[in-house]
Structure 1
Amino acid sequence: MEEEEIVDKKPRYSETEKYKVFDSEFMPHIDSMYNFAFRLTNDEDGANDLVQDTYLKAFRFINSFQKGTNAKAWLFRILKNSFINDYRKKSKEPAKVDYQEVESVYNSADEPQYNGTVDLRTEMVHDLIGDEVAMSLNGLPVDFRTVIILCDIEGFTYEEMAKILDIPIGTVRSRLHRARNLLKEKLRSYATSMGYKELR
């Protein structure tokens, strides 16, 4: 879904109504949006940029949103498409090195890693699933990672996921089945190392 495809039926809002809809329908989902963005990007700055971009687009295309419908699914679809478009764009660019980042890592090599600041949202996301599960989930290809996040973490129905991802429900089911199996394989060795035995 490209940006122009978001615009279909256009309930017209006044400028005052636009801000009311934005605040009442969109803003309550900002934590879920950040968690989804962080799971997709594995990066705090990238997640923040993605959420900001999503909310800018949501406001820009607010006339295509029908008040009282599923705002969360609508926002997730915009975020998912923004991520995919950005991912495609970056994959076509030559690799870049951030020399400032390299220099700061080099200069701080002998310093303690804790800098006294903590992003509570990031901690919450990590604590929500546990480090090994989070690492295994992050290791999945993005299509599989996305369906697990949408279904098992965010609780969307298959119908909602089909709309967010713009794929048939049958594809949602099969992709989710494959994603869960891949995740299970990744976690099997960890479970064994923790002393769990697979039931026959």
Structure 2
Amino acid sequence: MSSDRGSREADFQREILPNLDSVYRFALRLTGSEDAAEDLVQETFLRAWRSFEQFKPGTRAKSWLFTICRNVFLRQVERGKKHGEIVEREAPRTDSGGYGGDVVNPLWADTSRTDPEGSFFGQIVDDEVLGAIDALPEEYRTAVVLSDFEGLSYQEIGDLMGVPVGTVKSRLFRGRRQLQKVLYDYAVEMGYLTSAGEGA
């Protein structure tokens, strides 16, 4: 990678900046707040610029940025705990504001093959899907977002989170299972589906 500043800026704009929307979506799911997500994105890209010489051209910039973003977030959470701060996560809006734009939910795109009622879950309004994701424990939430929204591989997620691929699969399974239960209960409550116990 060229060492002069002009080339460095050009490389950064070409390799890193196109991932801005993806990093914002990830930050929004981590923080649950648009303001906090914007701050987290700014800090992420500032650190990415400062350490850009560590980025290897040809590798996946998105994974590198997600790693920085998550590390910054976890340090902020830990710092908040040390200072006795109470961190409240608010449900983010799902309009087209901010960096992220609309989020398409692919979580249950193929569930109808194995679950007769599975096709319903892909049609639940985004507010319910995103709210359910935001309620997951951080390690499940991160795995689900990176896999089902951002398309990272198990290996990439494992590298990012510092865990083996088997752990990634386990967290995805448990996270998706929790989501399906929450959204199934919501569907029954709203009358979209009939409870399995009814009519027996």
CA deviation after TM superposition for structure 1 residue 119, in Å: 6.2
Q: Distance in 2 between matches of 1:34 and 1:123?
A: 6
State TM-score, norm by structure 1: 0.77
| Aligned residue identity for 2:193 | Y
Residue 76 of structure 2 is aligned to residue 86 of structure 1: yes
Q: 1:68 to 1:153 in 2, by over 3 A?
A: same
Q: 1:196 to 1:30 in 2, by over 3 A?
A: same
Residue 136 of structure 2 is aligned to residue 140 of structure 1: yes
1:46-195 correspondence to structure 2 within 5 Å: 46-95=36-85, 120-121=97-98, 124-125=101-102, 130-194=126-190, 195=192
| Aligned residue identity for 2:163 | I
> Given that residues 73 and 160 in structure 1 are in contact (C-alpha distance below 8 angstroms), is that contact kept between their aligned partners in structure 2?
yes
Q: Distance in 1 between matches of 2:103 and 2:170?
A: 27
- Can you give the 5+ residue segments of structure 1 that lack an aligned partner in the other structure? 1-10, 98-117
Q: 1:39 to 1:125 in 2, by over 3 A?
A: farther
| Aligned residue identity for 2:46 | L
| Aligned residue identity for 1:196 | L
> Given that residues 20 and 99 in structure 2 are in contact (C-alpha distance below 8 angstroms), is that contact kept between their aligned partners in structure 1?
no
CA deviation after TM superposition for structure 1 residue 182, in Å: 1.2
Residue 13 of structure 2 is aligned to residue 16 of structure 1: no
- Can you give the 5+ residue segments of structure 2 that lack an aligned partner in the other structure? 88-94, 106-124
| Aligned residue identity for 1:137 | I
Q: Distance in 2 between matches of 1:60 and 1:30?
A: 16
Higher RCO, Cα 8 Å, sep 6+: 1
Q: Deviations over 1:3-33 (max 9, x none)?
A: xxxxxxxx66322221011100000000111
CA deviation after TM superposition for structure 1 residue 193, in Å: 2.1
* Structure 1 stretches of at least 4 aligned residues deviating more than 3 Å after TM superposition: 121-129, 197-200
Q: Distance in 1 between matches of 2:183 and 2:144?
A: 14
Q: Deviations over 1:127-159 (max 9, x none)?
A: 766111111111111111110000001110101
Q: Which has the higher helix share?
A: 1
Q: 1:163 to 1:13 in 2, by over 3 A?
A: farther
SS in 1 for 2:22: helix
1:22-61 correspondence to structure 2 within 5 Å: 22-61=12-51
| Aligned residue identity for 2:101 | M
State TM-score, norm by structure 2: 0.77
| Aligned residue identity for 1:124 | G
> Given that residues 22 and 59 in structure 1 are in contact (C-alpha distance below 8 angstroms), is that contact kept between their aligned partners in structure 2?
yes
Give percent identity, aligned residues only: 36
CA deviation after TM superposition for structure 1 residue 95, in Å: 3.4
SS in 1 for 2:128: helix
Q: 1:123 to 1:56 in 2, by over 3 A?
A: closer
